Structure 1
């Protein structure tokens, strides 16, 4: 399994990763945690984090959580549902993803996004198709 530092280095090739400023902090089997700072360019009118940015960070976290599983070479998001619970305006933001069900081809992940005050601001459930 890659370390968080190795993963961050690889993902620097992706423009979205760099635009948001994501940094993975922790990777364990079936788990990932990332963070990113508040930046005005990531906000919508009202100076709160844009929903698309939150969704992208949630997708990154879920995607990397499934890649920590045994024999998973790659995976693609099949479905991702998100509930936006509170505005995200105070960083740094943290997103945690945990695998809750693992099948041969489908993996379900529970994902939570928090603001800098530790408030749960978004809750997501996603399904990934995995390639072993």
Structure 2
């Protein structure tokens, strides 16, 4: 599945991703790289991206990683998410790198690193577990 088609799947499944302008830069083999452009609507006091925006980006990034191994069809849902805010992410844009750590029949474990686009320092480290729900047959 090409990136434009996968991004369309993501935006249909999570309309907030379209509202925020989330971009899909890479998605292959259980890994995904997404970009969240700068937006004053997503800032908190202190001129940095808000926690809810960063957590939402992490969740979408994980789903993109899952879609990359399921031909763009995945109905799995977030079961747990542990978020560690290591430093302010700045006022944007930011990159989220997601990878599948372990795929089981019922659960998937993943990790997401978020950083300011102009920095190599991780601002947010996320671990997540998803419950596998088989896609409906076409």
TM-score (norm 2): 0.86
Q: Where has structure 1 moved over 3 Å in runs of 4 or more?
A: 10-15, 70-73
CA contact (8 A) 1:97 1:112 kept: yes
TM-score (norm 1): 0.89
After TM superposition, list the pairs within 5 Å mapping 1:94-113 onto structure 2: 94-113=95-114
RMSD of the alignment, in Å? 1.7
Counterparts of 1:3 and 1:42, CA distance in 2: 28
Moved more, 9-18 or 60-69: 9-18
Greater share of residues in strand: 1
Q: CA shift at 1:63, angstroms?
A: 1.5
Structure 1 residues 69-127: Cα deviation after superposition (integer angstroms, max 9, x where no partner): 35863210011111001101153210011111111110100110010222210000000
Counterparts of 1:125 and 1:24, CA distance in 2: 20
Counterparts of 1:87 and 1:120, CA distance in 2: 10
After TM superposition, list the pairs within 5 Å mapping 1:58-97 onto structure 2: 58-70=58-70, 73-97=74-98
CA contact (8 A) 1:89 1:115 kept: yes
Distance of aligned partners of 1:74 and 1:15 in 2 relative to their CA distance in 1, 3 Å threshold: closer
* Unpaired segments ≥5 residues, structure 2: none
